[in-house]
């Protein structure tokens, strides 16, 4: 093994060790998975999820107007919004992977 490769390997191990040591138990509990309770699905503490205001701002930044939010289901929420003269139905994941998951045109805007 070359000396440069060994130095890179040691540096990588040191960075991982420092990152693991700096994570407090409270932060570690924000994202959790327990196979006996939730079938191994990753659950996210609501502290990490976006609020309705943040969801609206994110959709507005993507170019949507007239944004209406539906009731959240698990970590997803459906929104109806207008963009380019078309009304869209938008699936939005606001916790673990915030962003637009899918969108489908509904009708032309009046």
CB-based contacts of 92: which residues, under 8 Å, 6+ apart? 55, 58, 59, 76, 77, 78, 79, 98, 99, 100, 101
Instruction: Say if pTM beats, i.e. exceeds, 0.95.
Output: no
- As a whole number, mean pLDDT of residues 3-24 equals 53
In this prediction, residue 110 carries a pLDDT of 77
Rounded to a whole number, what is the distance in angstroms from the first to the last CA of the chain?
68
What does the DSSP 8-state code read for residue 81?
E
**Cβ-contact 89, 78 below 8 angstroms:** yes
Alpha helices in the chain (DSSP H): 3-22, 25-28, 35-38, 52-61
Q: What is the pLDDT of residues 43-66, one digit of tens each?
A: 556 667 888 999 999 999 999 999
């Amino acid at each position: 093994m070359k000396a440069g490769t060994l130095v890179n390997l040691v540096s990588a191990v040191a960075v991982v060790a420092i990152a693991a040591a700096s994570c407090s138990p409270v932060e570690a509990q924000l994202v959790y998975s327990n196979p006996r309770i939730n079938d191994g699905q990753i659950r996210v503490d609501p502290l990490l999820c976006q609020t309705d205001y943040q969801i609206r701002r994110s959709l507005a930044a993507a170019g949507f107007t007239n944004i209406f939010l539906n009731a959240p289901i698990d970590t997803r929420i459906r929104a109806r919004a207008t963009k380019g003269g078309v009304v869209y139905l938008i699936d939005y994941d606001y916790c673990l992977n915030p962003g637009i998951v899918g969108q489908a045109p509904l009708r032309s805007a009046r």
